[in-house]
Amino acid sequence: MANKNLNQAKNAKKDEFYTQLVDIENELRHYRAHFKGKTVLCNCDDPRVSNFFHYFSYNFEQLGLKKLITTCYKNQNRDLFSQNDSERAIWLEYLGDKNGDRVPNPEEIGIHYFNGDGDFRSAECIELLKQADIVVTNPPFSLFREYVAQLMKYGKKFVILGNQNAIHYKDIFPLIKNNQLWLGSTLSFAKFKVPDYYEERSTRFWIDETGQKWRSFGNICWFTNLDISKRHEEMILYKSYDAEEYPKYDNFDAINVNKTSEIPMDYEDVMGVPITFLDKYNPEQFEILGTSTMDMSKGAPYVGGKRIYERILIRRRKPIGDVVGANNDSPLQMPTQPDTYVHHEITTPVAAEDPESYNQNR
């Protein structure tokens, strides 16, 4: 029991990263239309430090929001490390500007007290979750699986920040495969303010002129189930299939593609592509079949006896004749009308963007 508490405390300690307003703005500008008339919940957010609260309260009228709810977790180990050090956990409710100054004044924000600690899994927080249309936050990474599972259980729309490692989780990848969750529009690099107790590091860490500690990550991304335009953009492919350039794996029946941009435009069977593919993924163009380890249960892929990084297995949805430029007679040919495509069922509406800057070949 003591060990469990210690582990929880250690994990919670690593969860204190405060998202920058610019990163929130850059992502959420792709979702503006979704927010009109909606109740937004930020449920891992101390309003004193949360830029999510800042963003939605200051843009309340512009976005046409109905209500903003923000819940603040009172970390039980707050004396050790957290900034969440108010006496009781609170939640805030903002219904928009009343006095015409278009600024969220303290008297316009309803402050309510929780009986518990404001844990997003508590009954009190779940009641607020039920009221919400869209949940937007950067949740604790140590609880990412549970966090996403709860959003799915209550059928919520969401835009949340996370670590790309989560893509490989056995309970997250199936959601990606089934088009229930996809990558957002921006970010592969992000910097976060961290509390004072964070230990100094030799890399990806600095202290600014005010004494504020910072950490940066190269593998941060947004996860969402809201439609965004990027998800409908078709990747322009220029390479042709060549058996030598795209060898088959030793241990399963698919060809290996080393770079997302080099997916051959004229190959109709299964292809293994790097994880960077997800940033370009348009479910009208490709279907995801699984990963080499998870769905094929074949372990890491091998080519010519050499082990390579895990791949996402995909297949094109449209027949080759529908690819712009696939017929080399006329590079300016118009694409075939959508109703002539082979149509596959897509479970949810779709959308995603890139910096091809994930760790290639993870």
Ligand X SMILES: C[S@@+](CC[C@H](N)C(=O)[O-])C[C@H]1O[C@@H](n2cnc3c(N)ncnc32)[C@H](O)[C@@H]1O
With contacts defined by CB under 6 A, name the span among 33-41, 42-50, 90-98, 182-190 that binds ligand X.
42-50
12 binds ligand X (CB under 6 A): yes
Instruction: Compute the least distance from the CB of residue 107 to ligand X, in Å.
Output: 25
Out of 55, 56, 73, 94, name the contact with ligand X by CB under 6 A: 73
Out of 39, 57, 70, 75, name the contact with ligand X by CB under 6 A: 75
3-state secondary structure the chain: CHHHHHHHHHHHHHCCCEECHHHHHHHHCCCHHHHCCCEEEECCCCCCCCHHHHHHHHCHHHHCCCEEEEECCCCCCCCCCCCCCCCCCEEEEECCCCCCCCCCCHHHEEEEECCCCCCCCCHHHHHHHHHCCEEEECCCHHHHHHHHHHHHHCCCEEEEEEEHHHHHCCCCHHHHHCCCCEECCCCCCEEEEECCCCCCCCCCEEECCCCCEEEEECCEEEEECCCCHHHHCCCCCCCCCCCCCCCECCCCCCEECCCHHHCCCCCCCCEEECHHHHHCCCCCCEEEEEECCCCCCCCCCEECCEECCCCEEEEECCCHHHCCCCCCCCCCCCCCCHHHCCCCCCCCCCCCCCCCCCCCCC
Give residue 131's identity as a one-letter amino acid code: Q
Q: Which is nearer to ligand X, 127 or 329 (CB)?
A: 127
With contacts defined by CB under 6 A, name the span among 2-10, 48-56, 202-210, 226-234 that binds ligand X.
48-56
Q: Which is nearer to ligand X, 16 or 279 (CB)?
A: 16
Q: Which is nearer to ligand X, 118 or 274 (CB)?
A: 118
- Longest CA span, the chain: 73
| Of 135, 184, 193, 132, residue with least CA distance to 162 | 184
Instruction: Compute the least distance from the CB of residue 335 to ligand X, in Å.
Output: 41
Number of residues lying near ligand X (CB under 6 A): 23
Query: Pairing between strand 220-224 and 182-183?
Result: antiparallel
Q: Which is nearer to ligand X, 150 or 292 (CB)?
A: 150
70 binds ligand X (CB under 6 A): no
Interface of this chain with ligand X, residues 174 to 203, rule: CB under 6 A? none
- Yes or no: say if 45 and 68 are a contact pair by the CB < 8 Å rule: no
With contacts defined by CB under 6 A, name the span among 50-58, 151-159, 200-208, 290-298 that binds ligand X.
50-58
Q: From CA 65, how far away is CA 52, in angstroms rounded?
A: 14
Q: Which is nearer to ligand X, 23 or 354 (CB)?
A: 23
Interface of this chain with ligand X, residues 130 to 159, rule: CB under 6 A? 137-140, 143
Task: Dig out the tokens for 361 from the structure.
Answer: 């070949």
292 binds ligand X (CB under 6 A): no
119 binds ligand X (CB under 6 A): yes
Q: Which is nearer to ligand X, 147 or 249 (CB)?
A: 147
Instruction: Compute the least distance from the CB of residue 82 to ligand X, in Å.
Output: 6
Instruction: Compute the least distance from the CB of residue 197 to ligand X, in Å.
Output: 13
Q: Which is nearer to ligand X, 73 or 182 (CB)?
A: 73
44 binds ligand X (CB under 6 A): yes
45 binds ligand X (CB under 6 A): yes
Out of 28, 39, 47, 50, name the contact with ligand X by CB under 6 A: 50
With contacts defined by CB under 6 A, name the span among 118-126, 164-172, 209-217, 299-307 that binds ligand X.
118-126
Ramachandran bin of 154, using left for φ above 0, alpha for ψ from -120 to 50, beta for the remaining angles: alpha
Out of 18, 55, 198, 286, name the contact with ligand X by CB under 6 A: 18
Instruction: Compute the least distance from the CB of residue 65 to ligand X, in Å.
Output: 18
Instruction: Compute the least distance from the CB of residue 125 to ligand X, in Å.
Output: 7
Instruction: Compute the least distance from the CB of residue 145 to ligand X, in Å.
Output: 13
Which residues in this chain contact ligand X in the complex, by CB under 6 A?
12, 15-19, 44-45, 50-52, 73, 75, 82, 84, 118-120, 137-140, 143
